[in-house]
Amino acid sequence: MKDPGWLTPQEQRAWRAHLAAHRLLSHQLDRELQVFGLSLNDYEILVNLSESPEHRMRMSELADATVQSRSRLSHQISRMEADGLVAREDCEDDRRGTFAVLTDLGWETMQRVAPEHVASVREHFVDLLTPEQVATIEEVYTGVVEHLHTLRSAK
Amino acid sequence: MKDPGWLTPQEQRAWRAHLAAHRLLSHQLDRELQVFGLSLNDYEILVNLSESPEHRMRMSELADATVQSRSRLSHQISRMEADGLVAREDCEDDRRGTFAVLTDLGWETMQRVAPEHVASVREHFVDLLTPEQVATIEEVYTGVVEHLHTLRSAK
């Protein structure tokens, strides 16, 4: 057995606090989005599409951007299509697959929900932090994202 | 419409980095636990039980500790029961429901997997941070957890 290099008590507290906070926070934000008939995953799709040129993204890009498998994304887009929030469009001039496009209803929903969701993110996360803590969170998690992206692309 | 109080660019980068890092990290840790036939959720159940007196917890306590609904936990415990990792036991001297208990196989699995999992948590998270950053993460997320627990218990 290799040396496990057990976490120090503080490292363990930090790691467990990260896990618990993320779970409670996702749960709370999900609850507050439910009022609008959305999940946190739905909201993230709407954000990604609304920030893209012509409100459209290739399914493969959207899967990468939201860190999920193509098949899981496909199920989610089907649900959102049934709700009228997005539409699928085949790509005419290349064969690299399908686009997801924000519908008018999806865009209106996004504009209506975004201020409420941002207020939730402030109340339950951002406004609890000092500016220095915000800077540390950005630095730490950007580093983690880069590390994990490097790992994935190395495969 | 109320003033949305949009996030500053840095607040937005911090929040998005938190979300992306958590998703990539969960995905990576899940992948590395799959070698042992476990998910990150399974592992968390094993940790909670292995740290409890007599390796047992009331289902309601386990649901609270892992921040999930009773029904979702019940499905998960059924799967883990089928794998021989945990057992359900009825409480003899009170009627407050069922216990989940670690089996011998569950305990052996925990001892075998824990060093590997801790090494993963080090590689992909803890060892990327300075001691000061670890302290900030603990402080920030403990505050978020307390805020959200207060909110839930106030209902």
Average pLDDT value for residue range A86-103: 85
pLDDT value at residue A90: 85
ipTM of predicted assembly, 2 dp: 0.90
Say if residues B62 and B48 touch (Cβ distance below 8 Å): yes
CB contact under 8 A, A6 and B118: yes
Is the predicted pLDDT of residue B21 greater than 80, yes or no? Answer: yes
Identify all chain B residues contacting A21, using CB atoms and an 8 Å cutoff.
140-142, 144-145, 148
CB contact under 8 A, A145 and B21: yes
pLDDT value at residue B4: 61
**Mutation target among A133, A140, A142, A153 for the B interface, most CBs of B within 10 A:** A140
Most confident range (mean pLDDT) of A135-139, B3-7, B19-23 is A135-139
Q: Backbone dihedral region of A70: left (phi > 0), alpha (psi from -120 to 50 degrees) or beta?
A: alpha
pTM of the model as a whole: 0.89
Q: Which two tokens stand for residue A143?
A: 């580093």
Give the integer Cα–Cα distance in Å for A11 and B118.
11
Average pLDDT value for residue range A3-11: 86
Average confidence score pLDDT of chain A: 92
CB contact under 8 A, B148 and A25: yes
H helices present in chain A, as ranges: 9-34, 40-50, 59-65, 70-82, 104-124, 131-153
Q: How distant is the Cα of B35 from the closest Cα of chain A, in angstroms?
A: 16
pLDDT value at residue B95: 66
CB contact under 8 A, A136 and B134: no
pLDDT value at residue A153: 83
Each residue's pLDDT tens digit, B106-125: 999 999 999 999 999 999 99
How many Å is the Cα radius of gyration of chain B? 19
Q: Confidence band (pLDDT; 50, 70, 90) for A92?
A: confident
CB contact under 8 A, A22 and B18: yes
Give the integer Cα–Cα distance in Å for B28 and B131.
23
- Amino acid identity of residue B137, one-letter, is I
Average pLDDT value for residue range B2-13: 85
Size of interface A-B (CB pairs under 8 A): 173
pLDDT value at residue B1: 47
Each residue's pLDDT tens digit, B26-62: 999 999 999 999 999 999 999 999 999 999 999 999 9
Is the predicted pLDDT of residue B90 greater than 80, yes or no? Answer: yes
